[in-house]
Amino acid sequence: MQIASDIAFTPSVKAEQSKRGSRLQYERMERTRGWPSTVTPDLTAFIADARSFYLATASADGQPYIQHRGGPAGFLKILDDKRLAFADYVGNRQYITIGNLAENPKAYIFIMDYVHQRRVKLWGTAKVIEGDDELLSKLSDPTYRARPERVIVFTIEAWDQNCPQHIPRMLPFDEVAGAIGRLQTRIADLETENARLRNDSKAQ
């Protein structure tokens, strides 16, 4: 019987796990919790906070390609318990991703949360949808600076959230800039107050 993690743990991968001593660990995982294959509340919350992710595709002959996708928090949206979707905005017009998907629907999404040192990996298939103005409008953010061209829908076959080891902790620039701005304003206020108190003291 095929299980969700078999999409990543191919016979060749399992052979390497056995050779290197980790196969029993993953067999226990497969027998107990396993990998989910549908959207859960935890995944919903994780995706809602995501400002970027990496989308991997491959050509028909297996040449891999990874593309970064970014946008406002929540730009990657959940359509139902199996499908995610996002608006594909105008970019560098290389069209490698959509060209790959035209001949090979297999795809992979990798989402990093650098703030909380978490990552989610999703295996599945993806397809490009052109000309669906209603869906494109639903997935687009009218305040975002780029123009949407099409929709990419990703169907989940399996996903996993694994350990935070080696993930560097980084904060979003706008949040850091805002915090620094508030500190600078507070420092300026305190310096002004300090100068006033010094002048009052001299006047006495």
pLDDT tens for 137-165 read 999 888 877 788 999 999 999 999 877 77
* pLDDT tens track for 54-96: 999 999 999 999 999 988 888 999 999 999 999 998 777 899 9
Please, are residues 103 and 59 in contact by the beta-carbon 8 Å criterion?
Answer: yes
- Angle value at C-alpha 172, between 167 and 178, nearest 5 degrees: 145
Query: What is the C-alpha to C-alpha distance for residues 124 and 185, in angstroms, rounded to an integer?
Result: 48
Is pLDDT of 13 > 80? Answer: yes
* pLDDT tens track for 169-199: 777 778 888 888 898 999 988 988 888 888 8
Token digits of residue 79: 């359509």
